[in-house]
């Protein structure tokens, strides 16, 4: 049985074709420069929550909105600064989670 993606008649020791056509080989995906649309929409919603909390003087909601925004920026430093940015991104991620949890606990006390 012949498969269409094998270009040449190279065979291994069991007689199976071993080469693929170059156009069907898996190509590496290029890295995106910025954030995805979903992350940008979530950041916009968090900014709206932050703005509403600032306008209404609700400190718990203000901290929660800031925590979500801090958490959502964690991919940016790695894309901008490489390895050191990855460390800073992990710091943003952890700080955002801790701050969000603290804001939730404070809201229900």
pLDDT digits (tens, 9 = 90+) for 3-25: 555 455 667 777 776 665 666 56
The pLDDT of residue 12 = 72
Alpha carbon 26 to chain centroid, angstroms: 22
Instruction: Tell me the H-state helices in the chain.
Output: 37-56, 59-72, 75-81, 83-107
* Residues 84, 32: Cα–Cα separation, whole Å: 19
Which residues are CB-contacts of 104 (< 8 A; sequence separation ≥ 6)? 64
- pLDDT, average across residues 30-51: 86
Token pair listed for 75: 């991919």
Closest CA to 92 of 69, 62, 60, 65: 69
- pLDDT score of 36: 82
pLDDT digits (tens, 9 = 90+) for 74-92: 988 888 888 889 999 999 9
Q: Which burial class, exposed, middle or buried, applies to 66 when counting CB atoms under 10 A from its CB (0-12, 13-18, 19+)? A: buried
Would you call 76 helix, strand, or coil by DSSP? helix
pTM of the model: 0.67
Of 89, 74, 78, the closest CA to residue 33 belongs to 78
């Amino acid at each position: 049985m012949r498969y269409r993606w094998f270009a040449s008649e190279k065979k291994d020791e069991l007689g199976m074709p071993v080469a693929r056509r170059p156009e069907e080989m898996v190509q590496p995906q290029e890295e995106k420069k910025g954030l995805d649309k979903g992350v940008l929409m979530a950041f916009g919603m968090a900014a709206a929550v932050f703005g509403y909390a600032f306008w209404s003087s609700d400190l718990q909601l203000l901290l929660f909105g800031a925590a979500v925004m801090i958490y959502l920026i964690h991919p940016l430093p790695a894309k901008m600064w490489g390895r050191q940015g990855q460390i800073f991104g992990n710091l943003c991620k952890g700080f955002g989670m801790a701050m969000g949890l603290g804001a939730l606990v404070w809201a229900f006390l």
